[in-house]
Chain A
């Protein structure tokens, strides 16, 4: 009798499936490899969150599509005389490619404010890794997500009469990645100082919208009033919009006259800035802002 009742009792003492041995872990010392791994972990978290949050993928597409189809479609009637027969939506497309990336990148950077508000930042900050690894991971993660968003916009190129050319696609991708990186770094440098989401959104509204409008994403950047020309040349986003437009226009079958008006290229005191240098400006700015973000983050408690 006792043998029968013993069996279940023994099973209870060691619940099914529970390993008898305690699984012990030894955390390795910090090394270059552990820092790389930390960057990867933070990066991947951004991606997982992005994929899990389908609403965000949709909502961040609303604005670029509004600008492209509603504003572009509506203004077409007014603009047809000035665009030499080129559809306004086609003209706007490169700017919209930049816009989609820009807004997503800013939103990605905002996640560090969320993380602080919801406490997760602390979990990362007490881990045996460098603060810089966390910032770099955040930046790369945000940039990847933003570039992905850009790809979705790129996919509709056919709707606005832009050909699906392999060189064009690769070039746009590269520029989008570059822009996404620089804007995320910029967003992080701002966001690290900010403790509340509301303030961050306010600051972003104040910075992002002017930057977008001044960049020339919505109009050719020549023949502008003097003050606007100065602001345009100071706007980092202009150096992403211009090569993007050059790239797209180089694949369009349009008259040289139209091209000259719509895609004049950026000039410094009359000198045409080469696309490579423009891309370089964006990259250098991204690196500097990333360093600022790292420095700021390391200085906080």
Chain B
């Protein structure tokens, strides 16, 4: 029954070349280039307003690129728009379920809209609902679902028509850590079982670790692209966090004695340094200030982001002068 016209396995699932999107004279996406292999979990990382959603909207044919080209599942996003649409699944940042309908009715509607052969609707529905653990709630009205259940249902719906590429725009935003973890469980299971390519955006650093490869986007450009391990190794520095009685004094002492730039993060002083474990004894000997606690950790993706953009994701989002773009984007409806 299940003949599927498989794509040539050597062909990338997504191929993007010199992609540009302008809103007026503001360039939201500035010549982005990358390829995603089939069955890869690919993460797009960056602060709000970096151009992630604009890029994803162009890839899933919701926005027309200003210039450049992109192919998804082997089809051109502008010239073969409908073919792209037949082969992708989408889970948006904002909910797009019909709360008046039940879970099953939402999936049924989607299946019919996409022309899923009617004999396959029931078994496929059961499969996707079981995967996200909602099979026993299929006849419940969506209006009664929690945020996490809705997101799971949206993922199930995005899979109803067996897409080759699943786009997830901030799939875990606004969810509690436990639900976030379980959603990642589904995503990994899905990728293994259905050999589907997953393209997702996030601005949670810890989540990006789940991806096979990550592109870091800042101000409309990709500033780094590699596996999480390689990116972290590339930073070459460990993160040292110390607790002191006077953080300001500690920061200036660190600059004076060791020439490192430290900053306060969650009440402790934190900085990056090569060979962190060897550094700690020197720190105690030479800092000249009482240290109440210390920890050394391998670089995180936060450090990677910091290394490539010079700021943390959170800072980048909070600094209005650097990222006034975000507001402009929203004003121009770029997030839609």
Contact = CB atoms under 8 A, between A and B. Distances in A.
A170 interface: no
A23 B90 contact: no
B86 A128 contact: yes
B113 A127 contact: yes
A128 B97 CA distance: 18
B92 A38 contact: no
B98 interface: yes
A34 B115 contact: yes
Interface string A105-141: 0000000000000111011111111000000000000
A24 B2 contact: yes
B82 A41 contact: no
B123 A122 contact: no
Contacts of B90: 126
A224 B180 CA distance: 68
A193 interface: no
A5 interface: no
Interface stretch (A12-20, A58-66, A248-256): A12-20
A49 B62 CA distance: 27
B68 interface: no
Contact of B63 (A18, A22, A301): A301
Between A34, A124, A126, the greatest number of chain B beta carbons within 10 A of the residue's beta carbon is seen for A126
A122 B92 CA distance: 9
B4 A24 contact: yes
Interface stretch (A25-33, A236-244, A274-282): A25-33
A203 B60 CA distance: 34
Between B61, B99, B114, the greatest number of chain A beta carbons within 10 A of the residue's beta carbon is seen for B114
Nearest to B334: A301
Interface string B314-336: 00000000000000000001001
Interface residues of B, number: 47
Contacts of A118: 95-96, 98-99
Given A19-B126, A128-B85, A301-B62, A27 B96 contact: no
A122 B101 contact: no
Nearest to A52: B100
Nearest to A128: B85
B10 to A, nearest CB: 21
Nearest to B61: A126
A53 interface: yes
Interface in A43-96: 45, 48-49, 52-53
Between A15, A29, A34, A119, the greatest number of chain B beta carbons within 10 A of the residue's beta carbon is seen for A119
B163 to A, nearest CB: 8
B117 interface: yes
Between A19, A26, A118, A122, the greatest number of chain B beta carbons within 10 A of the residue's beta carbon is seen for A26
B233 interface: no
Given A45-B98, A123-B157, A129-B113, 15 more contacts: A23-B120, A23-B127, A24-B162, A25-B117, A25-B162, A26-B4, A27-B114, A28-B115, A38-B113, A53-B100, A119-B92, A123-B97, A123-B113, A126-B85, A301-B63
Interface of B: 2-5, 60-63, 82-83, 85-87, 90, 92, 94-101, 105, 109-110, 112-117, 120, 123-124, 126-127, 130, 141, 157, 160-162, 193-194, 333, 336
